Each structure stands twice: as structure tokens, then as C-alpha cells.
Structure 1
């Protein structure tokens, strides 16, 4: 009879004991074994049906550990996929917004408001009355300048509707030009040899124009 590592309980009722005869008929004997695979043993003169009761896999701690690891991996995968989708969506929206901003800047704001204001500031430097001009000439020039300045200031309000932060920078630079021209034109007439007030006024206008252009350049870089 084969040897097994588990204990085998065999029950063979007396009524089922084989009778001595010339021909022995195998009598099945039912046995239950725990912890080994199901096998069938055929000893001499009889047979044993050996059956094993395997414990449920759900009762094993390793099963739940494996399920937990699989769940964590699945959640991590979903989070990664969502993050990539969300990043792609944000990039797509940013590109669309950049295209719209660039269109408004190049096709609408720049030709209608920004460029005329820049040309006006540049022309102010050359049109500013000379240092030897009279007070009346300066005041007459300032009246024309102030009227034109207001027209361009109203046009710059278009920028505020799209980019309020950019408009604040442009408006500050534009007001500095008005202040510089007002201070110069309302000051007493100087001698021809004293060009300091005129130089200070033109320098202030140059600085304001530079700040104006830098604000436009920085915004244009940000939308690319």
C-alpha cells in the first residue's frame, strides 16, 4: 500500500468485510484526508477513495494582501491617467487662449490703440517747445497736447477690457508723459542758455515710453 504524509481514517464495516472465496471482490472504503490532493489508493483486496477538504482561498491573509496591492495599483493607474488627461486639457485651453489673446493684441488692440499711443509719445519728444520758447507758446502747445492725450487715453481703455493688469502699466506710463509735459509747459520761460528743464522733460517722456513698450513686450511674451 502507498505511504502518505497525512493520517487516513478508514472505515470498513464488518458487514462489508470480504468473505474468503476464490475470487476477492474489491470493496470501496471511504476515507477523508486534510491537506493533500485528492487521490485514489488501490490496496490489495480493496480500494480507498481519499478525499481532501481544501480551505477557502478567501480565508488566507495572502489573498487579501494581493487584493489590496491590486486595488492600490488600479487606483494609482486611474490617478495617473486622470492627471495626464487634465494636463492635456489645460494645455489645450491655454493654447486656445493664447491664440485668442495674440489675435486681439495684433489685430485689434495694437493697431487701434497701442501703436497710435506709442507714436504720440514719440512725437511729443520732438514737438515739445524749445527751452527759449515763450510761456504763451508753451501753454498753447499744452492745450493741443492735452486734447490729443485724452483721445489716446480713451482708446487705451480697450486694453482694460481684455487685460486689466496690462492696462494699469500702460496707463501709468501714459500719465507720466502728461505730467512731464504739464510741468514743463507751465514753468516760467527759461533763458536760451538754460536747457535743463527741456532736457528733463524729454528724458521723462523717454522713460515713460520705454516703460510703455516693456509692458507690451512682456505681455506678448506671456501669450506665446
Structure 2
């Protein structure tokens, strides 16, 4: 059996082994630090990318909202301009109809012909039943299927030529229900001509009332 090495020799060998292991430990520590650094960099890059994408989405959403708002404003402006043009055109047409009506009535009053209506005839009141007969004449042309509570009355002014041809009509008093008012005005347009009164005349201006249930 061999004798154990002297204690001094063993200590020297352990020291040599420890010295040899130091580079391995250092390399492992450095590798771990590199991995940690790389992981931190990747996480930071991921966060930065996510933040850029979020900002891009918000910017795109704001741009879409601003575009929609601009388009909505443009549509509203176009609608207002279109409504104004239609209103002006309607006013011009109404003024032209009024001028034509006054011209025709003036010619009829000045002609002295048997079918002409002078001032005395224009001032003559219609018969008591004439308005009711006119309403009954127009009513079949009314197309209206809604239910209107209270049976309100729409009052309309109708202007005619001497032969009963309807020149214009306008709402004087609304029934309070636009659909019924418009149905009455459309029915008058479809009627086109009114029958003569008992005296053979048609007053130039008539005020007629219409109720949904009559």
C-alpha cells in the first residue's frame, strides 16, 4: 500500500485545478450575460415594434375619421346647395305661373266673349254645394293608406283657368300630417281640370278643405 502524497503537494494540485476552472466559469458568466442582454434587446425591440404599430393604427383611425368628417360636411353642403337651387327654381316657376295666370285672366276679363269672365263674374260667389262637389271630384285621385288620428283638415288654394284647368295649388293650412297634405296636393295635380259650377263658370280661385275621413 502506497503512502498518501504529502499535504503540500495535494494543496498545490487543488490550486492548479481551481486555476484551470476559472476560465470556464468566466466564460459561462459572460455567456449568461450575453444571453440576458440579447433577450432584453429582443424584448425592447418587440415593445418598440408594438408601440409603432399602435401609433400607426391610431394615426390611420384618425385619418379615416377626418376623411369621413370631410366627406360628411361636403355632402351636407352639397345637399344645402341643391335644396337652395331647387327652392329658387320652384320660386321662379311659381312666379312664372302667377304671371301667366294674371295674363290669361286679364285677357279673359277684357275680351267680352261669352265664355270670358269679367270682374263681375270673378267676384260672383260659387254656389253653396260647389266646393263639396269639387272635393268629391278630386277625392278619388287621393292615394293615401295611412291612419291619421283626429281626422284633421288640410286647406288648399286652387287656381284655375276659365275652362276649369288647374293652374296651381298650394297648401294654406296644414292638417298637421305632411303625408296627408302631400297626398291632397298630388291628387289635385292628377285631377287637372275641375267641373263648372251651376252657372257654367269656374271661379279663378278656390279654397277647398280635405279630411282623411269624409
Structure 2 length normalisation: TM-score?
0.38
Structure 1 length normalisation: TM-score?
0.37
